[in-house]
Amino acid sequence: MNPNRRRFLNTTAALGAAAWAGTPLWGAPPAGKFRTALIGCGWWGMNILRDALAAGRSKVVALCDVHAHALEVSAEEVNDLSGDQPKKYRDYREMLAKEKPEIVIIATPDHWHALPAIAAVAAGAHVFVEKPTSHTVQESRAMLNAATAAGRVVQVGLHRRIGPHHREAMEFLRSGKVGKIGMVRLFVAGRGGTETPAANAKPPLGMDWDAWCGPAPLRPFNPRMHPGGWRNYLDYANGTLGDWGVHWLDQVMWWTEEKYPKRIFSTGGRPVSGAVVANEKEATTDAPDTQVAVFEFESFTATWEHRRYADNPTERHGVGAYFYGTQGVLHIGWRDGWTFYPTDKNAPQAHGNPRFDNEKDGHNNPPLWRDFIDAIDHKRRPAADIELAHRSSVLPMLGMLSYKLGRSIQWDGAKEQIIGDAAANALLRRDYRAPWQYPKI
């Protein structure tokens, strides 16, 4: 066996064994189906729930959403698919108390991941929570602490950790055939354009907008925010770096044996989207349409770049990661699989086709879900365990923090503190809107 590969397997096994020592034990795995609840019944939440039903180990006992329409539509679909008749809730706290689910899926916008995840593990549930783990760094840390204290399995929706072409590419990287890697470049490009403000409006009928905003600032409802558009409003998410960047930074964290970068810098802006508008009448998005972030590790540098208005016609790939080594360049992509371009022009390229369990949305949630169930059954760490996902998820958050501050930060990853910069450390958390309280770490 290749020595790099052996080291990878040993590290993974050691992580599993060490991490569970001293944590509370589960009871015997429940026979049959897990009482399963979904919080956040939008696009992705329903994708996961369909996969859960298809895997045959879930009885859907509850659905929770602050938008009545989403609840109705998803309850009907669950009933059609499985015959289950889930109870419908607006408040996840009431749902947890009344239904006592054994599994909770969380697919709310990013500002609403931490509190339900912490409450769910504290109530004894195993949790499948979407990426990124959270909106601010210390929420993510609190989620990891809560999962560890409760001894629950927490899988994060970083499905590229389990996708077949990603696994193949990772094996290739570890085989040493790319040589010594000094730089990784991560990117996504898209065809947006200029932006004009959209009029604020009354929230849709049956939408509890105050509850949707929850611990985050209460802004006037704007139809561009919901569903899905919240990604580009920084009160609720971290823009393209938070949304897409976390998948590719996670590939870097999967490959490297380092646990965190030591310095981070990000710059960018809205040269095409234009100035941010946010008043009582109308609003634009406020996330950068152009951004570069640099993550300096001990033995390599990773860069992120995105622009939301022009794709990459002069380059082979529009999204993914280039690992630059002394023997060539390895690209891990999405719908284009992975390809190795050797430095020696006479050497053959290597390629792996993409394979998705769900072709339509191009993802591998089904195997990630099966891994989650297997991890519960066998009391082991899942593939995208909260500890690994925490390390990957804080990177875009730190990138955004540097972007907002306009200066680089030095990161003490062991203490999870920014060195010598009180103003920067203050941004590792934020004040919540009452009555919600920022989780303690």
Ligand X SMILES: NC(=O)c1ccc[n+]([C@@H]2O[C@H](COP(=O)([O-])OP(=O)(O)OC[C@H]3O[C@@H](n4cnc5c(N)ncnc54)[C@H](O)[C@@H]3O)[C@@H](O)[C@H]2O)c1
Binding site for ligand X (CB under 6 A): 39-45, 64-67, 70, 92, 107-110, 112, 130-131, 157, 159, 211-212, 214, 226-228, 243, 363
Work out how close the CB of 49 gets to ligand X at its nearest, in angstroms, rounded to a whole number.
11
Q: Which is nearer to ligand X, 129 or 428 (CB)?
A: 129
Closest CA to 236 of 248, 227, 247: 227
Q: Which is nearer to ligand X, 69 or 378 (CB)?
A: 69
Q: Is 281:192 a contact under the CB 8 Å cutoff?
A: no
Q: Which is nearer to ligand X, 67 or 381 (CB)?
A: 67
Contacts of 19 (CB under 8 A, 6+ apart): 148, 381, 385, 387
Work out how close the CB of 181 gets to ligand X at its nearest, in angstroms, rounded to a whole number.
25
Work out how close the CB of 69 gets to ligand X at its nearest, in angstroms, rounded to a whole number.
9
Q: Which two tokens stand for residue 372?
A: 């989650």
Work out how close the CB of 218 gets to ligand X at its nearest, in angstroms, rounded to a whole number.
13
Closest CA to 403 of 415, 413, 414, 395: 395
Q: Is 93:118 a contact under the CB 8 Å cutoff?
A: no
Q: Is 397:135 a contact under the CB 8 Å cutoff?
A: yes
Work out how close the CB of 130 gets to ligand X at its nearest, in angstroms, rounded to a whole number.
4
Q: Which is nearer to ligand X, 181 or 241 (CB)?
A: 241
The three-state (H, E, C) secondary structure of the chain, written as one string: CCHHHHHHHHHHHHHHHHHHCCCCCCCCCCCCCEEEEEECCCHHHHHHHHHHHHHCCEEEEEEECCEHHHHHHHHHHHHHHHCCCCEEECCHHHHHHHHCCCEEEECCCHHHCHHHHHHHHHCCCEEEECCCCCCCHHHHHHHHHHHHHHCCCEEECCHHHCCHHHHHHHHHHHCCCCCCEEEEEEEEECECCCCCCEECCCCCCCECHHHHHCCCCCCCCCCCCCCCHHHHCCCCCCHHHHHHHHHHHHHHHHHCCCCCCCEEEEEEECCCCCCCCECCCEECCCCCCEEEEEEECCCCEEEEEEECECCCCCCCCCEEEEEEECCEEEEECCCCCEEEEECCCCCCCEEECCCCCECCCCECHHHHHHHHHHHHHHCCCCCCEHHHHHHHHHHHHHHHHHHHHCCCEEEECCCCEECCCHHHHHCCCCCCCCCCCCCCC
Closest CA to 325 of 311, 312, 344: 344
Q: Which is nearer to ligand X, 41 or 401 (CB)?
A: 41
Q: Which is nearer to ligand X, 226 or 306 (CB)?
A: 226
Q: Which is nearer to ligand X, 207 or 330 (CB)?
A: 207
Q: Which is nearer to ligand X, 119 or 409 (CB)?
A: 119
Work out how close the CB of 437 gets to ligand X at its nearest, in angstroms, rounded to a whole number.
15
Q: Which residue is nearest to ligand X (CB)?
A: 42
Work out how close the CB of 156 gets to ligand X at its nearest, in angstroms, rounded to a whole number.
9
Q: Which is nearer to ligand X, 62 or 169 (CB)?
A: 62
Work out how close the CB of 380 gets to ligand X at its nearest, in angstroms, rounded to a whole number.
22
Q: Which is nearer to ligand X, 174 or 390 (CB)?
A: 390
Work out how close the CB of 237 gets to ligand X at its nearest, in angstroms, rounded to a whole number.
7
Q: Which is nearer to ligand X, 108 or 328 (CB)?
A: 108
Work out how close the CB of 70 gets to ligand X at its nearest, in angstroms, rounded to a whole number.
4
Work out how close the CB of 374 gets to ligand X at its nearest, in angstroms, rounded to a whole number.
19
